[in-house]
Structure 1
Amino acid sequence: MNRVPANSSSWKKPAKVASSSSRRIAVVGGGWAGCAAAVELAGSGHEVMLFEASRTLGGRARGVEFDGKPLDNGQHILLGAYSETLRLMHAVGIDPSAALLRLPLQMRYPDTTSGMRFITHRLPAPLHLLSGLLLAEGLTLDDKLSLARFSTTARWMGWQLNQDCTVAELLERFDQTDRLIKLMWRPLCIAALNTPPERASAKVFLAVLRDSLGARRAASDMLIPRVDLSALFPSRAAQYIDRRGGKVRLGTAVRKIDQQDKAWKIDAGAEEPPFEADGVIIAVQPDKAATLLSGLIDTSRLAGLQYEPITTCYLQYDTTVRLPTPFYALVDSSDINEWGQFVFDRGHLDPRQAGLLSVVVSASADAIENGQGFLTAAIAAQLARVLKRPDLTKPSWSKVISEKRATFSCMPALQRPPIRTGLPGLALAGDYVEGEYPATLESAIRSGVQAARSVVDPHSD
């Protein structure tokens, strides 16, 4: 599930790209970062050519179809703090209130014996958090005091660390209870950073918490897509680019980029001459970016990134199967082959998907070791037990989607590549570039917007 966001208070509001003179810009890669860059440029009057190697925009966050069933390449959650994502959705004609189900920030398990029920309320911050904490079920007084102490101390620190450490070390330093770590901090860390607490960056985790536990109430709201991820932004982005005179070329893999004089040349196939542009934004996966940029810039940071997988297991049941809430948190335990961390009832999001449950396993390297069939059976058994529904052991249909390189491994003091490459007119975009936050849709969008600004205005922030 994806991951928690950037905060509008930490990112400067991107200014409009200067449009006094239209420039020709190539964007290589049609994921959310590339689409964002192309939309920002096209909306500012620049001529855009967007190259995407596959036949579908969206990258690792796109709609897919299996056996006639429309699914997502992975279940995602957005936050109200996704200011740039929501801005660009509006720009391309998406109504977020219709496309997204808005829920208060919560960590809710099927029962409070083995889990907890923490739901914030529609009150101004920080009262929404305080009321949720006071009324939380499944937590002892020590647990609640532990959470209050963490939140108070982190707020006093400005949600920042002078020296990075692991999340596990941070929780020990803040004297958090075992139960709170198990039910709150560990699942939040894995969901947000897609990296286990034992090797996840505490500095990045605190930035995430600042925008959820420490944010204004509306910014902390959870937003669950009601439409598939392609329809949520990439498809409308393509239409927007086309309406403004740009072009989107699907199924076109860029082989090489080169600079001659002040122009950039993009080689997208031997059967046609290179595309010439005033600037280029590279918005592909880090390993592909390293290949394209080899010999032009230092690619060591791109090559040095490590990765974590995310797996989503879809299980179809009778259309009468329905959860009381759109999603639950689950306690995962590899010791008993219970891998699911969150379960979503897709019928809450779209009535046409009644009876379809999606289960998310972040940082899923161990979970997928024994194959998809084993994982499907294990997750179905886990749901049957925790939901007290023996019939859930036998879904009528299932599909496992696993992204082996879903995100970079968000480790302490990680040196991520910058957006600016040092070469005029050449920029990087992607959820892996420098920033305070982990790999999120908002990180991807913001990187695309900043890359767009940098290639047309070398003096932009």
Structure 2
Amino acid sequence: MVKHFAVAGGGWAGFSAAIELVRAGHRVTLFEAARTFGGRARRVAFDGRELDNGQHIMLGAYSETLRLMRAVGIDLAAAVLTLPLQMRYAPGTGGMDFVAPRLPAPLHVAIALLRAVGLERADKMALARFTTTARWMGWYLNQDCSVAELLERFDQTPRIVALMWRPLCLAALNTPPERASANVFLAVLRDSLGASRAASDMLVPRADLSALFPDAAAAWLKDRGHTVHLGAKVTAVCKQSSAWTIEASGAGVGGAQPAEFDGVVLAGSSVASAALLSQLPGTEALAAQLAGFEQEPITTCYLQYAPGTLLPAPFLALLDDPANARWGQFVFDRGQLDDRQEGLFAVVISASRAASELPQDELAASVAAQLAADLAQPELAKPSWVKVITEKRATYACTPGLQRPANETGLPGLVLAGDYTTGEYPATLEMAVRSGAQAARVLARS
């Protein structure tokens, strides 16, 4: 029996749910409040430039994301730059250079560790001991704790913590190690350091985040006769006898209001979904749970330099030290990803609450000075153009033992999809896509 479902949210989770519902033989109508698809991973435009609201890296282990990208016609070879697992700092900064060769696992990590520059023997032994013990444990703790406590238990050296574990934790969980969940961090490491060579590959988007999947997903739905509303904010979800009704507002809403559906996927942010749930009887506790998540921002600082300005690699790690105005944690050379962005660097600051409170010109100047010092290029202190973008609710704080909700809401025909739902991964694109697919399966069964 063909049913008609509504999806509230045109981000990665929402499109994942919509595609899976269509592939199960159902009709879908999708509502997106913004004028651009992608949710908290989307394209933004400033001064004639098309940027992203945050720089992302995917892993080869993102099986669900890659599967759906292929399903909607994305050419992965053209859409992403595939790099081997690595953690590289600019020469002369006191960092490290760790690059996994294209060899079978776990040999690729072992060889990378032997060849790593900038690590002492004690650092290499500590990293090897960590991965060996974690693999023996199944990359899981029976009792969750903070990442900082985990690293202390595993006798990790201060240098390997500073150069490897801290930046990885910030990048993957967007939560400082002192407050981040060890079990979620271990799940990420399992699928990078502890995975097959291909699964541990790092995939850096060449296309903007909307073009990378959501735009193609919207076109895929439309081509098959399904309805996609852009600029249509869902303001209420109600149950009327055997049907669900959606009320939406905005320039992108077409047709009579309200519309009726057999079921609804709430695929907005946890905050947006909490607001809709709070209007429904019986979901008060769930709404409070979602509203209670601690939000963590991510800041990306874009700096434009003269054509021909290059990094030694497509991206590099940076030694951050907020106490000394060193905010950047990773820098990406957008010109090595897209020829149209030659000379454009993107510096990422995860868990950026303190940085985002600074005046934007002050933060940009500090980031530019950090690049100039680390790359030994004084001219980098004076970019020709800068733009600071802070996604204030980029993720939730991924803390030990955090209770994340299931896709089911307790109301038949109403499900959640989002990177904040139950799962092994933190708030990543892969977690959003997995949640959307699971929400679709739950809804189709109901």
Which TM-score applies when normalising by structure 2?
Answer: 0.97
SS at match of 1:367: helix
Give the Cα separation in 2 of the matches to 1:334 and 1:56: 33
**Number of the residue aligned with 2:151:** 171
Select which of 318, 325, 332 maps to 1:344: 332
Give the Cα separation in 1 of the matches to 2:235 and 2:90: 50
Give the Cα separation in 1 of the matches to 2:58 and 2:69: 13
* Structure 1: stretches of 5+ with no match in the other structure: 1-20
**Deviation, structure 1 residue 208:** 0.6
Indicate whether 1:274 and 2:254 are aligned.
no
**Number of the residue aligned with 1:5:** none
**Number of the residue aligned with 1:130:** 110
Give the Cα separation in 1 of the matches to 2:403 and 2:224: 37
**Deviation, structure 1 residue 120:** 0.6
**Number of the residue aligned with 1:217:** 197
Give the Cα separation in 2 of the matches to 1:273 and 1:144: 63
**Deviation, structure 1 residue 343:** 0.4
User: What aligned pairs does 1:57-136 form with structure 2 within 5 A after superposition?
Assistant: 57-111=37-91, 114-136=94-116
**Deviation, structure 1 residue 335:** 1.7
**Number of the residue aligned with 1:306:** 294
Select which of 275, 294, 318 maps to 1:291: 275
Which TM-score applies when normalising by structure 1?
Answer: 0.93
Q: Contact 1:112 / 1:138 at 8 angstroms: preserved in 2? A: no
User: What aligned pairs does 1:402-417 form with structure 2 within 5 A after superposition?
Assistant: 402-417=390-405
- Report percent identity of matched pairs: 63
Give the Cα separation in 1 of the matches to 2:176 and 2:387: 25
Report the CA distance shift for 1:318/1:269 in structure 2 as closer, same or farther (over 3 A): closer
Give the Cα separation in 2 of the matches to 1:322 and 1:357: 9
Indicate whether 1:392 and 2:380 are aligned.
yes
Q: Contact 1:116 / 1:136 at 8 angstroms: preserved in 2? A: yes
Give the Cα separation in 1 of the matches to 2:338 and 2:322: 32
**Number of the residue aligned with 1:359:** 347
SS at match of 2:355: coil
Give the Cα separation in 2 of the matches to 1:273 and 1:387: 57
- The residue type paired with residue 262 of structure 2 is D
**Number of the residue aligned with 1:325:** 313
Structure 1, 92-101 or 269-278: larger mean CA deviation: 269-278
Give the Cα separation in 2 of the matches to 1:70 and 1:288: 26
Indicate whether 1:254 and 2:238 are aligned.
no
Indicate whether 1:450 and 2:438 are aligned.
yes
Q: Contact 1:113 / 1:138 at 8 angstroms: preserved in 2? A: no
**Number of the residue aligned with 1:15:** none
Indicate whether 1:185 and 2:175 are aligned.
no
**Deviation, structure 1 residue 41:** 1.5
Give the Cα separation in 2 of the matches to 1:146 and 1:371: 40
Give the Cα separation in 2 of the matches to 1:242 and 1:219: 32
**Number of the residue aligned with 1:4:** none
**Deviation, structure 1 residue 65:** 1.2
* Structure 2: stretches of 5+ with no match in the other structure: none
Q: Contact 2:264 / 2:415 at 8 angstroms: preserved in 1? A: yes
Give the Cα separation in 2 of the matches to 1:222 and 1:273: 45
- The residue type paired with residue 103 of structure 1 is L
Give the Cα separation in 1 of the matches to 2:102 and 2:357: 42
SS at match of 1:254: strand
Structure 1, 414-423 or 378-387: larger mean CA deviation: 414-423
Q: Deviations over 1:140-165 (max 9, x none)?
A: 00000000000000000000000010
Give the Cα separation in 2 of the matches to 1:112 and 1:147: 22
Q: Deviations over 1:53-112 (max 9, x none)?
A: 111110111111111111111101001001011111111000111111000000000026
**Deviation, structure 1 residue 300:** 2.5
Q: Contact 1:43 / 1:244 at 8 angstroms: preserved in 2? A: no
Give the Cα separation in 1 of the matches to 2:272 and 2:326: 35
SS at match of 2:356: coil
SS at match of 1:170: helix
Structure 1, 212-221 or 37-46: larger mean CA deviation: 37-46
Give the Cα separation in 1 of the matches to 2:194 and 2:407: 28
Give the Cα separation in 1 of the matches to 2:249 and 2:9: 15
Between the two proteins, the alignment pairs up a number of residues equal to 438
SS at match of 1:199: coil
Q: Contact 2:24 / 2:444 at 8 angstroms: preserved in 1? A: no
Select which of 426, 429, 435 maps to 1:438: 426
